[in-house]
Structures are given as C-alpha cells and as structure tokens.
Structure 1
Amino acid sequence: MMKLYNLKQYIIYLLGVIVMISCQSKKEDKTPYNILFIAVDDLRTELNCYGASHIKSPNIDRLANNGIRFTNAHVQQAICMASRASVMSGVRPEKYGIYTGEPVTDVLPEILTMNQFFKQNGYNVASFGKIYHFGEDTKNQFGSDFIKPVSTWEGMGYVTKAAIKQQSLNTITGRGPAYESAKVHDTLYQDGLNTLNAIRKLEGLKKDGKPFFMAVGLTKPHLPFNAPQKYWDMYPEASISLTELKERPKNTSKHTLRTGGELGNYYGMPKLYEDIQDSTAITLRRGYYACVSYADAQVGKLLDKLDELGLKENTVVVLWGDHGYKLGDYGSWCKWSNMDIDTKIPLIFNVPNGQRGKVFKHPVEALDLYPTLADLCNLEQPAQLEGKSLVSILNNPKQKLKTKLYAYSIWPHNRWNYDKTVMGYSVTDHRFNYVEWVQLKTGEVLERELYDHKNDPKETINIIKEHQYNDVINELSKKLMLRKETTDHNHGFKKLR
C-alpha cells in the first residue's frame, strides 16, 4: 500500500514538472508584441464610437469595437508640445517646465524617451509624421527610419493656388487660410503621404522579423482644416450645426478661457473669437469634421495593412489624441484650458487576444501610455515614469477598483514671465473637475472652480461657492496639494526669470 502511495506521489510530481516546463517553454517562445502608436493632433472625443453619430469614423470605430475605449482619459496639458513631451517622456510637464516647444532631450537629457526605450530593448523603431513637436521629430530620436513632418502652419499644407496666394499675403504670421478643400488624392496632403510611407515600412518590418515600435502622427484635424474634397462632401453644409455651448461657463474668471489666439493667426480670421460670424463658424466646424474623417481613413489603411501582412495577431495598436478642442464652445476656439472639453481625449487600446468592445469610464491619464506599453511588452519600466500601467484594466475593465482614480492637468498663463505666471491646476475624478488658479511665485490661490459632471456634464456652471460640495472641494484640494508637493514647479521656470 505504501509503495502504491509513493508511486502516486511520484506521478503527481512528474506531471507538475511537465506542466511547469511546458508553461515556461510557452512563455519563453512567445513572440514580443509589436507596437503601432497612432497620435492624432487636436482630436476631441467627437467620434461615432464616443456617441457622436453625425461623425463618420468607421475605422476608429473598428479599433474601438476590437479593443477597449477609455471615456475619461485626460492629457496633462491641453497643448500639443507639452502633451506630447509628457507622453513620450513619461514625466508631468510641471516637473521640468516643458510647457512650450522646448525639446525633451534638451531639457531632460537624462530621460529615456519612449522610442529610445523600445530601441534600447531591441525593437526596430520608426516614425512617420508628428510625434513630438515638429522641431524634435529628428533622426536622433527615431534613427534612420524617420520621415520628417511638414509644418502646415508654414504654408506647406496647401495645394490650391488660391490658398497658397493667401498664405503669401499674410505678412504677419505667414499662415494661409484656416481651411482648404481640393479634389486631390489623399497623398497630396501630408497625412496621406505619411501613411503611405508607413504602410511601405510595415512591409519591410514584416520581412525583418524583429519586434517593432512604429509611431504614426496624424496632423489632422489640427488647423488649417485642409482635406480632400471627398471628405468635405461627407458633411453637407446644411447638416452642420453651431455649438449649443455659446456662453462662457457661469461664475468663472478671466483665467478659465481664452478670448483669442491660434485661429486668429490664419488669413482672414478675426483676432477675437467673439467676432467670428456664424457662417464662418459653420465652415470651420465642417472643415474640422472633414479632417476627422480624413484622419480616420488613414487609420483604416494602417489597420488594413496590419491585417494583410498577418501582423494584427501580434501587434498592440494604441490611438490617442494629444488634447481636446473647442469649436466655438463657450464662445472660444482651439485648446488651452483646464476645461474637460480641452483635456479629455479619445484613447483606444487594441491588444491581441484581449478584451473587445469594452469601455472604461474612470479617469486615466495620457501619462499612463508609456508604462502601459512597457508592461504589455514585459519590459522593465524606467524609474522616471510618473504614470501607471493600465494592463490590469485592459485585462479586466469591469474589475472593482481597489483605489479611486484621478487625472491631473495644468494650464499656465503668462508662462514666459515667472513673476506673473498663474498656473491652473486641475484634478478630475469619476464625477467632478476641480481647478485652482495659483500665483506661482507666491503660492496664493486666486480663483477656484468646481464642475459636477453628473448634473452638468458640459461644465456650464462653476459651483465652487455652493456649500453642499465643501467635502468634495476639501478632498480634491488635498489631492492637488499632494500633487504639487511631489513636483518641483519652479525647476522649469528658472531659465525664464
């Protein structure tokens, strides 16, 4: 009997060893994921898959249907260069003062950027279009597989003679008209050309066999709203409506929104947003929508190529917008605020054999992209990263959260003069957006804002003075204080004094 018992024990032990070796073998044999990293300029969450049925975005919708869509994702600053620098470095913009066009590698030479990280880990790295800001998308960042983006605001994004002539007439800013439509092929505009080059590169990467990190930066729907005529035709003028949010949020200060800016730099556009006529606003909104569908078409070409080459089964695809956008909302245009409409972005992950058609509604940050991609690829994360991995959420978006999630954003006014800089700090949870406007030099809180997304999802009323929210205000204010204490805000302003 004892011998039989020992034999059973031995068999169980032997089976366990076999299973362990088998699992270890599978783990070792697993091919590393490829990464297709798609950054879309000025893309707000006005997409079909985000509930905007009037927008034609079938390819981004396809990506969402095959992956996980985040509905409460926020950038760390609602401007191109700072948002992108934060994502690619994994560091918050206020930590080192990257608020404008300073190259990450100049301000943070010790930082391992996302593309450098993957290159260091044996990945083929390639870039097409705008990933950082135009001045920093260089061969030093991406190696030889790099196509330099063409700056649309230098007039290179126009194809019609009329638009090019208008650009030459703008002697102040050198920018042409705010929109253009032409009966041309997609590749006559830069996003179509960059996508074509990216597709060709995918063929080479497939043959090479090494894991790759490919970054594709689509410049549309950034101004100017230039897209082939067929995309404009998707949105007849009669179908375009003006925004319902025509007034500034109630009980807000001068810090909340800008009254003029980027749009006024284009030929024929008023300097002040209040002077924009309804007919012009309709055309601008139509142009933005056309550019969204143009960008969506390029996304479709990339997804189709992955499928054609058999790369889909082993490629993580992530699509994100570098910030939100206003199209006349609150009487303002473009970005540059701590309002939800400017900080909230579309964020979609598609992981091979992962969750499909799922939604995660709690706040996450664009800062989380770097650690998430590193984690998905089983790579040790650099110590610099300030975001968190979202892999557990990607595996189970319906899980019960152990801790409450928050997203933080900033917006600096007078950032060129430290003595006068007013910094707007915002924190968002599952329901509220809380903002403090702080005199950076003295630390004095000048203004505060609170928006209740449950009762006021479009942020039309600042309820900071309503006493029933005092507990919420205290909680979120402490969160901001803790965030500020862990960040050296003055570091990045020393050079500006």
Structure 2
Amino acid sequence: MLKKFAVLLLLISLGNSSQLSAQTKEKPNVLFICVDDLRTELGAYGKHYVKSPNIDALAKSGALFTNHYVQVPTCGASRHAILTGMRPSKPIHISNNAIVEEISDQPEKSVPETFIHRFKQDGYHTVGIGKISHSADGLVYGYEEQPSTKRELPYSWSEMFFDPGKWKTGWNAFFAYENGENRQSLRKQVKPYEAGETNDQGYPDGLTTNLAISKLKELKKNGEPFFMAVGFFKPHLPFNAPKKYWDLYDEDKIPLSSNPDIPKNISLKSLHASGEFNQYALGEEKAGLDTQVSDAYARKLRHGYLASISYIDAQIGKLYQELKNLDLDKNTIIVIWGDHGWHLGDQRVWGKHTLFENALKSTLIINSTLPQHKAKKVRAIVESVDIYPSLLDMCGIDQIKPTDGESFEKHIKYNIPDTEEVAYSYFKNGISMRTKNYRLTKYFRDDQPVIELYDHHKGNAKEDKNIAKENSGIVKELMPLLEKGDTGIFTVTE
C-alpha cells in the first residue's frame, strides 16, 4: 500500500512539475503602444508639470529608458527603422514613403518584413489598431484620397482595424477637429490647437482605445498568444484634445523653452522654418528662424501639446486597466514608444525634422512581469533599431534576420554601460551620433560648418553652441566612431 502511495505521489509530483514547466514556457503577450511625436515630456522623465499619471505609473514599475534615440526624425522613416531593425542605407529610408516603397509591394518571403511578421511566423496572433506604420490606418492612399484595400504591411497582421468615426477616413481622422472636419477638408484654414467640448470619443484616439479594449476581450477568450499594436495620433499636430485635459493646466505656469535661440556657430541649414506647423493657417502667429513667437503664444502651443499628452495618458490608462480586468497583465509585455521627439520652440523651431537632441530623443518604456524589468531606470544609450531584437529576445523567438540593432536586455538586467555606447540618426543630408558625453553631427553639404559638436557632460542637453572648432581633438577622436554609422546613404553634397 505504501509503495502504491509513493508511486502516486511521484506521478502527482511529475504532473505538477510538467504543469509548472508548461506555465514557465507560456509565451508572453505583447501590447506595443506607438505615440506620435512624443518626446520625453512626461512626469516620469522629471517634467513634473506634465499630467501623465498612467504612463508614469507604468514607468515607475517598469523599465524607463532615459537615453533612447530614433534613427530618423520623421514619422514614416522612423517607423521603417524600428519595424525592420535597420538603419537607413539609401535616401528613401529617410522619407515618409519608406515603408510603401520598400515593403508594401514585396511578395511574402521567409525573411520577415517586420518584427511583427516574425511574431506572426512564430504563432502569435498579431493585431494592428491605428497608426503603427506610417499610414493612419495601415492602408496605402493619399491624404485626400479614399482608402484603398492595400495594406502598408501586407504580411505582418493577422487582423487590422481602425474606426475613423465621423471623419470617415484614416487620414481625415489623423488631422481631425471635433466638429467632424479636418485639416484637408478645411483647406488648412485651421488653428494648430483645439480644446474640444467633448468626451474622449470626440476625437479619434478615444475610438482607437475602445477598439483596442474590445479586441483585448476577444483575445482573452481565444487564449492564444497575441501581439497587439495600438497607434495613437496625439500629440501630433494639431494639438487637439478634449477641454477637460486642457483644464488640467494653468497656462501661465507652463514653462517656456530653456533654449529658444538659434545655436551659435551653425549654418541655418541645420534647422528649418517650421513649415509643417505653419500649414495651420489660422494660427495667431507664424514661426520662423528670423523671429520667435511671443511668450504668450508659445505657452498656448505648449499647453496644447501637454493637453494632448494627458489625453493619450488617459487612453493608455484605460488599456492597462482592461489588461488587469482580464487578468492579462500578468503575462503581457507593455511597450510605450514615441516615434521621435519635437522642438517646442527650442532652437527657434516648432516641429521635428532636425538632427538635434529635441527631435531625436523620445519616450521608451517597457513594463512586464519579468523581474529584471521592475523599477529600473536604464541609462544606457539605445536606438529604436534595438527594439526588434530585444522583443524577440524577451519572448524567446529566434531571430532569423540580421539587424543593425542589438538586444538591450543586458542593459535592463545589469544596467552596465558598454564602452562604445552610441546612437546614430540620419536626416537633412547629415549623420548624427550620440555618445554618453557628446553629440557629433556631420553634414554632407556645401554650407559651412559641416561638423557640429555639442557637449552633454553633466546632462547638459541644450545644444546651444557648436563647439567643434575649438575642440578639434575631440572631433578627431570621435569621427571614426561616427563613420562606423555611415551606411553610404549620403554620397553627394546638396
């Protein structure tokens, strides 16, 4: 009898061990949240005047990357880099048409078109909602055209959704105003901001949240591992958000840029005249390199940007609450990624599209149940191209395509910087390199100077003076490292 009992205990033990092993090997889900034009303007990054409690909470309990840099400071090209894990190597790669030209018309191959496709190949159910690639709804068509049925990423998604609401198309929704009109329909006779007397669903990002919540419930029932990407529009121009988010701020107390002037010792070709911003023709003032907007208007614009962030923060809070309601938070990796930064009057620019810190540094937060991701500030310099191999690493998926990026899991786990920590970015006929202490930029143009060096010792990120001329030794020392990032994309001068 004792012998039989011992055998029974052994079988139970083996069964429990097998069950535990199966649980251990359970694939984690991924909720990948893309936020358009989100620089590190969050409470989690020390900007305590920003009302972003939900994102801040995820950052506090997860891994907050304090030095994440994008490859290209424009939407479509930045997304092409992160999706493929590759730095730009030809001119189309710094264009918003990069994905359409390089991916959309290709036949399916064993080599995945994106890291999302690789998740799908590995058995994940992949769902796209909102702006993940460059297109507002994942379909290929022009701003003022009717939507096509052609997917921008033809093989990455098991399912793809978007609710354009009263705006009827994805691109109309992207430039939406509360009354159902949009920048195109109003022929740009619009302001660059709006405080709408409406609820969260009165703008498209609220509809995207509702779709995502509905889909999470379905995915819970299905029980298979999923990769869900949710793309939010704000705080991209126009800075439109429900009035209740504007009301979170006292406009008179919103800080102005600490660096509003053109940097010393540069060519104006390194900046731009805020053309995208000035398309909003009813704005009270025009921005430009020849003059600054007034302090009052700068505060109004920054107010709109902050209100838009708070609006998106609320949407992310709703998604996380639904994960908890469905008991999915215990096995879901949450990624919050800003596709690039934005100049809020810094260096006299309103917009992205430069090789300065303000345009290249963006939000990156990873929150998961993995112990190494808990309450970490990751100070290592990482690039968007690193996200591809890192997510595969976290989920135990084999990487079958080489990438320019490298997994940053070691940085999260040990928080020990490499000796050669560097991030490369490309735009305006130039290559910029960020190291721990410096930003070095080389332009392939006739206008002098073509070399810019900025000192980032002690966290000084103003980039208000090019010090290359008086620090030729530092430039000489850093140049071989910058040249490692020269992919041959710029071979001729302007």
Q: Which residue, out of 309, 333, 338, partners 2:355?
A: 338
User: C-alpha separation between the residues in 2 aligned to 1:53 and 1:34?
Assistant: 31
1:407 maps to 2:407: no
Equivalent positions of 1:38-437 (< 5 A) are: 38-95=33-90, 97-104=92-99, 106-108=101-103, 109=106, 112-134=113-135, 137-138=138-139, 139=151, 140=154, 141-147=156-162, 151=170, 157-160=176-179, 164=181, 168=185, 170=187, 174=188, 176-269=190-283, 272-273=287-288, 274=291, 276-354=293-371, 355-397=373-415, 400-412=416-428, 423-437=429-443
- The alignment's TM-score, normalised by the length of structure 2, stands at 0.85
Counterpart secondary structure, 1:134: coil
Counterpart secondary structure, 1:122: coil
Contact 2:172 2:183 in 1 (8 A): no
Contact 1:56 1:293 in 2 (8 A): yes
1:478 maps to 2:493: no
Counterpart secondary structure, 2:469: coil
Contact 1:155 1:175 in 2 (8 A): no
User: C-alpha separation between the residues in 2 aligned to 1:390 and 1:284?
Assistant: 35
Contact 2:60 2:376 in 1 (8 A): yes
Contact 1:225 1:288 in 2 (8 A): yes
Deviation at residue 121 of structure 1 after TM alignment: 1.2
Contact 2:136 2:171 in 1 (8 A): no
Q: Tell me: CA distance 1:203–1:135, structure 2 relative to 1, closer, same or farther (3 Å).
A: closer
Deviation at residue 276 of structure 1 after TM alignment: 3.2
Alignment gaps of 5+ in structure 2: 1-12, 140-150
Q: Tell me: CA distance 1:177–1:167, structure 2 relative to 1, closer, same or farther (3 Å).
A: farther
User: C-alpha separation between the residues in 2 aligned to 1:151 and 1:175?
Assistant: 20
Counterpart secondary structure, 2:336: strand
Q: Tell me: CA distance 1:88–1:279, structure 2 relative to 1, closer, same or farther (3 Å).
A: same
Letter in 2 for 1:252: I
Which residue of structure 1 aligns with residue 465 of structure 2? 461
Counterpart secondary structure, 1:255: helix
User: C-alpha separation between the residues in 2 aligned to 1:177 and 1:288?
Assistant: 13
Q: Tell me: CA distance 1:445–1:489, structure 2 relative to 1, closer, same or farther (3 Å).
A: farther
Counterpart secondary structure, 2:400: coil
Letter in 2 for 1:461: K
Contact 2:130 2:137 in 1 (8 A): no
Question: Which deviates further from its counterpart, 38-47 or 91-100?
Answer: 91-100
Counterpart secondary structure, 2:380: coil
Letter in 2 for 1:42: D
User: C-alpha separation between the residues in 2 aligned to 1:124 and 1:370?
Assistant: 17
Counterpart secondary structure, 2:241: strand
Deviation at residue 353 of structure 1 after TM alignment: 3.1
User: C-alpha separation between the residues in 1 aligned to 2:319 and 2:481?
Assistant: 40
Deviation at residue 268 of structure 1 after TM alignment: 1.5
Deviations 1:109-149 (A, max 9, x none): 36521221111111111111111111671453424332266
Deviations 1:37-70 (A, max 9, x none): 0111111111101000100100110111111111
Q: Tell me: CA distance 1:152–1:105, structure 2 relative to 1, closer, same or farther (3 Å).
A: closer
Counterpart secondary structure, 1:97: helix
Deviation at residue 300 of structure 1 after TM alignment: 0.5
Deviation at residue 350 of structure 1 after TM alignment: 1.0
Contact 1:369 1:389 in 2 (8 A): yes
User: C-alpha separation between the residues in 2 aligned to 1:22 and 1:433?
Assistant: 52
Alignment gaps of 5+ in structure 1: 1-17, 413-422
Contact 2:36 2:235 in 1 (8 A): yes
Counterpart secondary structure, 2:305: helix
Q: Tell me: CA distance 1:28–1:195, structure 2 relative to 1, closer, same or farther (3 Å).
A: closer
Which residue of structure 1 aligns with residue 8 of structure 2? none
User: C-alpha separation between the residues in 2 aligned to 1:57 and 1:125?
Assistant: 28
Letter in 2 for 1:195: T
User: C-alpha separation between the residues in 2 aligned to 1:431 and 1:220?
Assistant: 32
Question: Which deviates further from its counterpart, 318-327 or 400-409?
Answer: 400-409
User: C-alpha separation between the residues in 1 aligned to 2:439 and 2:222?
Assistant: 47
Contact 2:197 2:242 in 1 (8 A): yes
Contact 1:96 1:107 in 2 (8 A): no
Q: Tell me: CA distance 1:105–1:79, structure 2 relative to 1, closer, same or farther (3 Å).
A: closer
User: C-alpha separation between the residues in 2 aligned to 1:186 and 1:319?
Assistant: 20
Q: Tell me: CA distance 1:235–1:326, structure 2 relative to 1, closer, same or farther (3 Å).
A: same
Contact 1:123 1:212 in 2 (8 A): yes
Letter in 1 for 2:437: R
User: C-alpha separation between the residues in 2 aligned to 1:294 and 1:248?
Assistant: 31
User: C-alpha separation between the residues in 2 aligned to 1:291 and 1:314?
Assistant: 30
Q: Tell me: CA distance 1:377–1:135, structure 2 relative to 1, closer, same or farther (3 Å).
A: same
Counterpart secondary structure, 2:93: coil
User: C-alpha separation between the residues in 2 aligned to 1:166 and 1:278?
Assistant: 26
User: C-alpha separation between the residues in 2 aligned to 1:155 and 1:401?
Assistant: 39
Contact 2:266 2:466 in 1 (8 A): yes
Deviation at residue 253 of structure 1 after TM alignment: 1.1
Contact 2:380 2:417 in 1 (8 A): no
User: C-alpha separation between the residues in 2 aligned to 1:435 and 1:229?
Assistant: 41
Deviation at residue 28 of structure 1 after TM alignment: 7.8
Deviation at residue 388 of structure 1 after TM alignment: 0.6
Contact 1:231 1:291 in 2 (8 A): yes
Letter in 2 for 1:389: S
What is the aligned residue count?
452
Contact 1:438 1:446 in 2 (8 A): no
Contact 1:220 1:295 in 2 (8 A): yes
Kindly report the root-mean-square deviation, in angstroms, between the aligned alpha carbons of the 2 structures: 2.9
User: C-alpha separation between the residues in 1 aligned to 2:359 and 2:184?
Assistant: 28
Which residue of structure 2 aligns with residue 489 of structure 1? 489
